[in-house]
Structure 1
């Protein structure tokens, strides 16, 4: 799967779980279920139930937000792998639900170094000149 769809799944899952505790929840749930309805109609009802269960888990333990988002990232990633054309609809849904986010640009980076190692990371262009 290409990195663009992986990043989209990551952004979508984080947004989805974050919106579970807001007034936009019903719209969020309906939009996500509609995506599954188009791609895998036989799973749409189960996805609606899983969303409700995730929301209840989040209400019971707000510290589990990252774990729950990771679970949904996997589900969304698998859906996008099967139906990559849904990426356009998912981006539109994210932008409608959370206008301040840009699903096309969201990314994360991690690095670790030991000893004399150096790490260079950039979200875009990077020029390193060492002498």
Structure 2
């Protein structure tokens, strides 16, 4: 089980980054905000803002070849 956590985390991070630069971002943001609001119920808008900021930062960078 412990060995599976880093692999799962890596896959989730990779998927989140892919969604940052695709049209699926609106659904991904809603889903991630919903998930994180279970952990931090007092911060749903803050989390959505952080996700939007992360997307803005990523979209401002040139794509790697």
TM-score by structure 1 length?
Answer: 0.44
Structure index of larger Rg:
1
Name the structure with the higher helix share.
Answer: 2
TM-score normalised over the length of structure 2: 0.80
Residue 52 of structure 2 is matched in structure 1 by: 52
Structure number with the bigger relative contact order (C-alpha 8 A, sep ≥ 6) is 1
User: Any gaps of 5 or more consecutive residues in structure 2?
Assistant: none
Gap regions ≥5 residues in structure 1: 65-131
> 1:23 corresponds to which residue?
23
Give RMSD over aligned pairs.
Answer: 2.0
Q: Distance in 1 between matches of 2:13 and 2:62?
A: 15
Which runs of at least 4 in structure 1 moved beyond 3 Å after TM superposition? none
